[in-house]
Amino acid sequence: MDNKLKISGIVLFLTILFVSGVHAENGYELWLRYNPLENQSVANDYKKSLKEVVVFGNSETSEAIKKELSIGLKGLLSVEYKVGSNAEVDNCLVVGTPKNSPFIAQLSINEKLQKLGDEGYLIYTIDKGAKQRIVIASQTEIGALYGTFHFLRLLQTQQNISDLKIEESPKTTHRLLNHWDNLDRTVERGYAGFSIWDWHKLPDFIDTRYVDYARANASVGINGAVVNNVNANALILTDQYLHKLLALAKVFRPYGVKVYLTARFSAPIEIGGLSTADPLDANVINWWNEKAKEIYSIIPDFGGFLVKANSEGQPGPQQYGRNHADGANMLAKAVAPFGGVVMWRAFVYDNNVPDDRAKQAYNEFQPLDGKFPENVFVQVKNGAIDFQPREPFHPLFGAMPKTPLMMEFQITQEYLGCATHLVYLAPLYEECLDADTYVKGEGSTVAKVVDGSLNSHKYSGMAGVSNIGNDINWCGHPFAQANWYAYGRLAWNPENSSEQIADEWIRQTFTNNQKFIDVVKPMMMNSRETAVNYMTPLGLHHQMAWNHHWGPGPWVNIGRLDWTSPYYSKADSFGIGFDRSSKGSNAVSQYSTSVKDKFDKLESCPEEFLLWFHHVPWDYKLKNGQTLWNGMVDKYYGGAESVKKMQNDWESIKGLIDNERFYHVSQLLNIQANEAIWWRNACLLYFQQFSKQPIPANYEQPNKALDYYQNLKFRFVPGISN
Ligand code: GCU
């Protein structure tokens, strides 16, 4: 095509977009999309109930409430609202607290609001019928903001608002995102571009993204952000960076999001000029006390420190012959006078290769239960290895009753296809939270350990390793946004259902069209199991490629032994799987008796964890009668087949949503379908060397040999820098 023609074609396309008022559906708005409601009769009912909006208070948070309601209602109902001040008019929405509103104060709800706590809220209808008024009330303005987002969600998902009686309060006190963002803007295990924190331009330049980030977090109740990598750089603790951090804190504050930092344990040496970082050394203690004072003088509501110590080469107290409690408690004392907390990570393994890495965190931390002050969390990954597609719950849950354990989930898909695979992670989170530790009898779920209700702690919480970057749609994959959303909803209430969360996310992000939901919701709900099947079925784990962790690498045999894949698969001519039973590494003994017994015996071990706990012969009969080898083949093929089904399902909803996001997802599904086959073939061909059995003839045979897969080399893959 000649250039003139090409350019006039593009101009015509842009003109059509401009004239038709179509705005780019690039995913930037996340679930706060507020597009006009599709159902006109529902929209008309809402308009009748919402003739006026009254928001009390003049604080920055009240302004945020006003702003959110006006953009939300304008978008959903196409009505410009002027925020009024007369709460006595019929058909109005009233938002406020007993402190900022005499109207709310006289409603006799103070006692109820007190019970719901500072972040809880009520949404309820007074004066029903023609005069109907809706009240969103909380003890605090942040609670009122949470209530506002809840109310907007009701509209976005087209719920009946004629007789509301909603009482909500978070089950946990600390609901944090952990950004693994480096100061040079690379993101460890980040697949959505560079870090959203532009440290170079801070503190003077405030990207509007920072505000939208805070809005998105507040909309799901996330109330804190650790802004830098757990593999920490001490520079973040210097005055220059603390002022940059202050600029972020100011943007986040009206939305109830506190800033936190990771603390590099050797910071007193690196930026303090001391010769040691020994936590019992008086100069070191003093350095941290002074550092805490300095931080709080700049950012009075600073949340506290997250620490990765003595793990993967990070410095820590063990270098000085001290233990984790010595390190954590020194920092905890420094931040305690200011209300700060320390989150000390249990993801540890030392320089000696253990008989079973899965046992290490428990061995190091369980004996320390009761040795921490109340402002220390031990932050525990959901499983004992490392965010695998499936792991049994970490044995520390339930084993440290005197210590608040913070759940650490990974939202970024390090081991689940990066940002190219559609994997809805809420079922993974839910499976772990619903798991029963049995430590106080039946019903002692991980959720109850995490929300503190099993052992009554002052603090309770969750951390989610962020999947956010500077990609226009924040998370890379349009569906990866659902994992940020779902994480927040589960941190608020670990007993929320993954399916309900998927439902509301789809409605807010895409459409209320039931046809779309009926196809897309099951697709999301099955996607995690699908990934498990084409990556690591039946309890297999840690079979990924070296370093970048994206593709398959069951043969990876470099680095320390417990970083290799065969260490975990233990594939040999007899069978496959890591024997963690009482006859093997005895990792099962770290669970309470009923859980231990279940996992220990081959017959009672759930098949999804079979090869996690047992070394099983290739001809072992699975529950469905297949041999282990044939069952494995079936799972791998089933996984790859399910991605094809996802592709077909997605094609079937074409036209029900905008083309931009439709094609974005369908192209990514093509990648996922190819990569699922890659995982399947590479793993089966590798394990076949040991099973010496054929892939039954009714399956399409791999069209490449094992050495083809073994020789694939990738550089500059997202998440690694070489
Ligand atoms: C994984 C991940 C690392 C990360 C570590 C952690 O091992 O691959 O990049 O630093 O987890 O959680 O600290």
Report the C-alpha gap between 329 and 314 in whole angstroms. 18
Cα–Cα distance for residue pair 327/348, rounded to 1 Å: 14
How far does the centroid of ligand 1 lie from the alpha carbon of residue 312, in Å?
A: 8
Residue at token pair 């924190």: 197
Active-site hit among 88, 90, 312, 495 = 312
Cα 655 to Cα 25, 519, 661, 717, distances in angstroms: 14, 13, 11, 33
pLDDT for residue 718: 78
| Identity of residue 37 | L
Does 171 contact ligand 1 (Cβ within 6 A)?
A: no
CA of 186 to the centre of ligand 1 (A): 14
Question: In the chain, how many H helices and how many E strands?
Answer: 23, 16
pLDDT tens figures, 192-211 = 999 999 999 999 999 999 99
Mean pLDDT of 120-149: 94
- Is the Cβ atom of 357 under 6 angstroms away from ligand 1? no
- Whether 595 is in the pocket of ligand 1, judged by its Cβ within 6 Å, is no
| pLDDT surpassing 50 at residue 21 | no
Helix (H) / strand (E) containing 364: helix 360-365
Taking each helix axis from N to C end, the angle separating 498-509 and 426-434, rounded to the nearest 10 degrees, works out to: 160
Question: Which atom of ligand 1 is the closest one to the Cα of 180?
Answer: 10
Q: What is the pLDDT of residue 5?
A: 44
**CA 654, CA 651: separation in Å to the nearest integer?**
5
Catalytic position from the list 278, 386, 431, 529:
386
Does any ligand 1 atom lie closer than 6 A to the CB of residue 189? yes
Residue percentage of the chain with pLDDT more than 70: 96
Q: Which of 68, 414, 430, 471 is catalytic?
A: 414
Q: Check pLDDT > 80 for residue 333.
A: yes
pLDDT of 719? 65
Nearest-atom index, ligand 1, CA of 549: 8
Q: Which has the higher per-residue pLDDT, 236 or 127? A: 236
pLDDT the model gives residue 721: 60
Q: Is 608 in the pocket of ligand 1 (CB under 6 A)?
A: no
**DSSP assignment of 570-616:** ---SSEES---STTTT-GGGGS-HHHHHHHHSTTTS-GGGHHHH--E
Among 180, 265, 418, residue to substitute to test ligand 1 (most atoms within 8 Å of Cβ)? 180
Q: How many CA atoms lie within 13 A of 401 on its CB side?
A: 11
pLDDT at residue 81, rounded to an integer? 85
Half-sphere exposure of 229 (CA within 13 A, CB side): 17
Residue identifier of the C-alpha nearest atom 1 of ligand 1: 386
- In the residue annotation, 312 being an active-site residue is answered as yes
Average pLDDT of span 341-359: 91
Write out pLDDT tens, residues 496-543.
Answer: 999 999 999 999 999 999 999 999 999 999 999 999 999 999 999 999
User: Tell me: the pLDDT tens digits for 113-130?
Assistant: 999 999 999 999 998 777
**Residue 188 in contact with ligand 1 by CB distance below 6 A:** yes
**CB neighbour burial string for 9-26, b if at least 16 within 10 angstroms, e if fewer:** eeeeeeeeeeeeeeeebe
CB distance 386 to ligand 1 below 6 Å = yes
In degrees and rounded to multiples of 5, residue 168 shows phi and psi of -135, 140
Task: Give the model's confidence band at 722: pLDDT under 50 very low, under 70 low, under 90 confident, else very high.
Answer: low
DSSP assignment letter at 441: B
> In this predicted structure, what is the pLDDT of residue 15?
43
Q: Is 347 close to ligand 1, i.e. is its CB under 6 Å away?
A: yes
pLDDT at site 182: 97
**Ligand 1 near 230 CB (within 6 A):** yes
Atom of ligand 1 nearest to the CA of 230: 13
Residue 152 confidence (pLDDT): 98
Mean pLDDT of the chain: 95
386 an active-site residue?
Answer: yes
**Gyration radius (Cα) of the chain, Å:** 26
What number is the average pLDDT over the span 244-248?
98
Global pTM reads 0.96
Atom nearest to 188 CA in ligand 1: 9
| CA 329 to centroid of ligand 1, rounded, Å | 24
Ligand 1 and 186: CB distance under 6 A: no
* pLDDT for 625 beyond 60: yes
User: Residue 190 above 70 pLDDT?
Assistant: yes
- Residue range 39-67, pLDDT digits in tens: 999 999 999 999 999 999 999 999 999 99
**Which pLDDT belongs to residue 129?**
76
Residue 453 tokens read as 């209700």
Phi/psi of residue 139, nearest 5 degrees: -70, -30
For the chain, how long is the longest CA-to-CA vector?
Answer: 80
**Which residues are CB-contacts of 35 (< 8 A; sequence separation ≥ 6)?**
75, 76
Could you tell me the distance, in angstroms and rounded to a whole number, from the CA of residue 542 to the centre of ligand 1? 13
Q: What six digits make up the tokens of 702?
A: 């791999």
Measured distance CA(97)–CA(322) in Å, rounded: 48
Which residue minimizes the CA distance to atom 10 of ligand 1? Answer: 231
* Tokens (6 digits) for 240: 């220059």
CA atoms of 627 and 95, how far apart (whole Å): 62
Task: Please tell me the distance between residue 548's alpha carbon and the centre of ligand 1 in angstroms.
Answer: 11
495 carries an active-site annotation: no
Give residue 23's pLDDT: 63
pLDDT in tens, 395-450: 999 999 999 999 999 999 999 999 999 999 999 999 999 999 999 999 999 999 99
